[in-house]
């Protein structure tokens, strides 16, 4: 078991986890909401350190990141567990399993055994091995994705420290619940984040995700202030977060921080506990795209469907197509050294 660094000791053998904004106070033998950080005798342990539930080599565009090392591959990994409980989760089989296990063990009064149960999931993949694979295969980045990286902070941070020494970049694909402490700690090794802004309605966050809106907004602003490259993703769910008013609020919030922040509008497909809602229509995605543009956002992208017209990067000054995308096929056409080849405008992002 690996002792966590993000926690505080309290009285009565309790601990306060400081890895994410759920702020769990954890009693002896129990875990926090995520089910992967356990209190043993007044110390907090990360049960999934070096244990990947899944890993793959993905195109960076799949994260999605469109202004960060385009057309490169990224080593992607996740563990089990999550601090949210989104009923539309596409990776619910790995993200929600620890909560189910925790409830069962609490009921059976066997919660002390959760470390043994969790250790059965996943593959041994220590930070050194990840860096070795990237070096061997010449992969320029690591993405902490598939489930929420803030809950496996110590694993991600050690990997990021080690890989950044070799010039490998590090990326969080996250729901935006990192604490200020965790984000500041990993900042020197973290190059980019794709942060979900799932809704602009606190009730949506509370009912559907078992979280809150405000902490996510704070993380987005903090990541921007810290100078980490950020892109925002909103999965558009019919009838849940697709009203004009809500989309305008999301676009207005992003645009109020910086009009250069890319906004990814992605299509929902029925999954997990939300199988009664249809997939997002193209018309709704295009409506959201127009709202983003009207709010002044320079880079709005439609995703999770094939839509070349709304997924390419255009120069905001002269409208030249800079990067053409067709699914995960990417062609860098008129971008050189981060500038439009035609008019010379600087395009924000991390290009190498």
Shortest distance in whole angstroms from residue 96 CB to ligand SF4: 13
User: Could you say which of 15, 33, 47, 213 contacts ligand SF4 (CB under 6 A)?
Assistant: 33
Interface with ligand SF4, residue 102, by CB under 6 A? no
Cα–Cα distances (Å) from 142 to 25, 57, 132, in that order, read 31, 9, 12
* Angle of CA points 292, 293, 299, to nearest 5°: 85
Which is closer to ligand SF4, CB of 160 or CB of 251? 160
Inter-residue contact 268 to 246 (CB < 8 Å): no
* Strands 192-196 vs 169-174: parallel, antiparallel or unpaired: parallel
C-beta nearest to ligand SF4: residue: 32
User: Could you say which of 23, 126, 327, 338 contacts ligand SF4 (CB under 6 A)?
Assistant: 23
Which is closer to ligand SF4, CB of 33 or CB of 237? 33
Shortest distance in whole angstroms from residue 154 CB to ligand SF4: 11
- Extract the tokens encoding 175: 């729901």
Inter-residue contact 247 to 288 (CB < 8 Å): yes
18-26, 64-72, 268-276, 343-351 -> range binding ligand SF4 (CB under 6 A)? 18-26
Cα-Cα end-to-end distance for the chain: 37
Interface with ligand SF4, residue 101, by CB under 6 A? no
Shortest distance in whole angstroms from residue 18 CB to ligand SF4: 7
User: Could you say which of 15, 37, 75, 143 contacts ligand SF4 (CB under 6 A)?
Assistant: 37
- Extract the tokens encoding 67: 């202004």
String marking each residue 45-84 x if it binds ligand SF4 according to CB under 6 A = --------------------------------------x-
Q: Which helix (H) or strand (E) holds 74?
A: strand 73-78
Interface with ligand SF4, residue 22, by CB under 6 A? yes
User: What is the rounded CA–CA span in Å between residue 193 and residue 303?
Assistant: 17
User: Could you say which of 15, 17, 97, 162 contacts ligand SF4 (CB under 6 A)?
Assistant: 17
Interface with ligand SF4, residue 230, by CB under 6 A? no
Which is closer to ligand SF4, CB of 148 or CB of 231? 148
Shortest distance in whole angstroms from residue 36 CB to ligand SF4: 7
Estimate the crossing angle of helix 127-137 against helix 153-165, to 10 degrees. Answer: 40
Strand residues in 229-332 grouped as ranges (E): 229-236, 263-267, 300-303, 313-314, 321-326, 329-332
Q: What are phi and psi of 208, to 5 degrees?
A: -90, -30
27-35, 63-71, 217-225, 293-301 -> range binding ligand SF4 (CB under 6 A)? 27-35
Which is closer to ligand SF4, CB of 10 or CB of 277? 10
Cα–Cα distances (Å) from 322 to 29, 315, 316, 341, in that order, read 54, 6, 10, 8
How many residues of this chain interact with ligand SF4, rule: CB under 6 A?
Answer: 12
Interface with ligand SF4, residue 32, by CB under 6 A? yes
Look at the block and give the residue holding tokens 């919660």. Answer: 111
Q: In the window 106-165, what residues touch ligand SF4 (CB under 6 A)?
A: 151
Q: Which residues bind ligand SF4 (CB under 6 A)?
A: 17, 19-20, 22-24, 32-34, 37, 83, 151
């Amino acid at each position: 078991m690996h002792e966590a660094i993000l926690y505080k000791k309290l009285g009565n053998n309790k601990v306060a986890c400081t890895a994410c904004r759920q702020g769990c106070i954890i009693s002896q033998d129990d875990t926090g909401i995520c089910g992967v950080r356990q209190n043993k005798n007044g110390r907090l342990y990360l049960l999934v350190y070096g244990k990947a539930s899944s890993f793959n080599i993905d195109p960076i565009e799949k994260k999605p990141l469109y202004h960060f090392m385009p057309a490169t591959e990224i080593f992607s990994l996740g563990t089990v567990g999550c601090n949210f409980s989104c009923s539309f989760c596409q990776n619910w089989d790995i993200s929600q399993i620890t909560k189910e296990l925790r409830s069962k063990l609490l009921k059976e009064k066997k919660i002390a055994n959760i470390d043994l149960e969790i250790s059965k999931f996943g593959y041994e993949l220590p930070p050194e091995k990840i860096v070795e694979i990237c070096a061997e295969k010449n992969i320029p980045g690591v993405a902490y994705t598939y489930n929420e990286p803030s809950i496996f902070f110590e694993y991600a941070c050690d990997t990021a420290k080690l890989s950044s020494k070799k010039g490998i970049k590090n990326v969080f694909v996250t729901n935006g619940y990192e604490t200020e402490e965790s984000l500041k700690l990993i900042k020197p090794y973290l190059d980019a984040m794709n942060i979900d802004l799932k809704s602009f309605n606190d009730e949506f966050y509370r009912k559907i995700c078992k979280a809150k809106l405000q902490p996510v907004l704070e993380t987005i602003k903090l990541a921007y202030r810290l100078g980490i490259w950020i892109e925002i993703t909103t999965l558009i769910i019919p009838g849940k977060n697709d009203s004009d008013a809500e989309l305008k609020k999301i676009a207005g919030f992003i645009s109020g921080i910086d009009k250069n922040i890319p906004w990814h509008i992605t299509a929902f497909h029925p999954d997990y506990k939300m199988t009664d809602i249809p997939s997002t229509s193209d018309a709704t995605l295009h409506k959201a795209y127009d709202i983003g543009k009207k709010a002044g956002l320079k880079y709005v992208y439609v995703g999770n469907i094939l839509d070349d017209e709304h997924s390419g990067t255009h120069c905001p000054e002269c409208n030249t197509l800079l990067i053409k995308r067709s699914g995960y096929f990417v062609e860098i056409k008129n971008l050189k050294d981060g500038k439009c080849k035609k008019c010379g405008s600087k395009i924000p992002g991390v290009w190498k």
